[in-house]
Chain A
Amino acid sequence: MQIDKEINARGLNCPLPLMKAKMVLAEMKSGQVLKVIATDSGSMRDFLNFANEAGHEMLEQQNVGKEYIHVMRCR
Chain B
Amino acid sequence: MQPEEILVLQSHVLWASFAVCVIFGALARRTDFCTMGAISDIFNMGSWIRMRMWGMAVGVAMIGFYFMVWKGLINPSQTIYSSGRILWLSAIVGGLMFGFGMVLASGCGSKTLVRIGEGSLKSLVVFFVMGLAAFSTMGGLAAMLRNNTVDLVALNIETGSEVPMWLSAVFGVGAGNTGMAMALLVGGGLVVWSLANRKFRSSANNILAGAGIGLVLVAMWWILGHMAFVPEHPDTLSPAYLGTASGKMQALSFTSPMARTLDWVIAFDDAKTLTLGVVSVFGVVLGSMAYSVYSRGFQWEGFHSTQDTALHIIGALFMGVGGVTAGGCTVGQGMSGLSTLSVTSMIAVVGIMLGAVQGLRLQRWLLMRD
Contacts and interface: CB of A to CB of B under 8 A. Distances in A.
B45 A14 contact: no
Interface string A20-56: 1011000000000000000101100110011001100
Interface in B324-354: none
A46 B34 CA distance: 12
Contacts of B106: 13-14
A50 B297 contact: no
Contacts of B149: none
B37 A12 contact: no
A59 interface: no
Among A18, A22, A46: residue with most chain B CB under 10 A: A46
Contacts of A12: 304, 308
Contacts of B266: none
Contacts of A22: 44-45
Given A15-B37, A42-B37, A49-B49, A10 B304 contact: yes
Given A10-B304, A53-B47, A66-B299, A19 B364 contact: yes
A13 B107 CA distance: 9
Contact of A19 (B44, B47, B303): B44
Main secondary structure of the interface of A (DSSP, over half): helix
Contacts of A50: 44-45, 47
B368 interface: yes
Nearest to B303: A11
A23 B360 contact: no
A45 B299 CA distance: 18
Nearest to A51: B45
B232 interface: no
Contacts of B363: 15-16, 19
A54 B37 CA distance: 17
Contacts of B308: 11-12
Nearest to A11: B304
B122 interface: yes
A49 B40 CA distance: 12
B367 A23 contact: yes
A47 to B, nearest CB: 10
Interface string B236-253: 000000000000000000
Given A41-B118, A42-B37, A45-B32, A53 B45 contact: yes
Contact of B45 (A11, A13, A41, A49): A49
B30 to A, nearest CB: 12
B301 interface: yes
Contacts of A11: 301, 303-305, 308
A13 B122 contact: yes
Interface of B: 32, 34, 36-37, 40-41, 43-47, 49, 106-107, 118, 122, 297, 299, 301, 303-305, 308, 360, 363-364, 367-368
30 contacts: A11-B303, A11-B304, A11-B305, A11-B308, A12-B308, A13-B106, A13-B107, A14-B34, A14-B36, A14-B37, A14-B40, A14-B107, A15-B37, A15-B360, A16-B363, A18-B40, A18-B44, A19-B363, A23-B367, A39-B301, A41-B118, A42-B37, A46-B37, A49-B41, A49-B47, A49-B49, A50-B47, A53-B45, A53-B47, A66-B299
Interface of A: 10-16, 18-20, 22-23, 39, 41-42, 45-46, 49-50, 53-54, 66
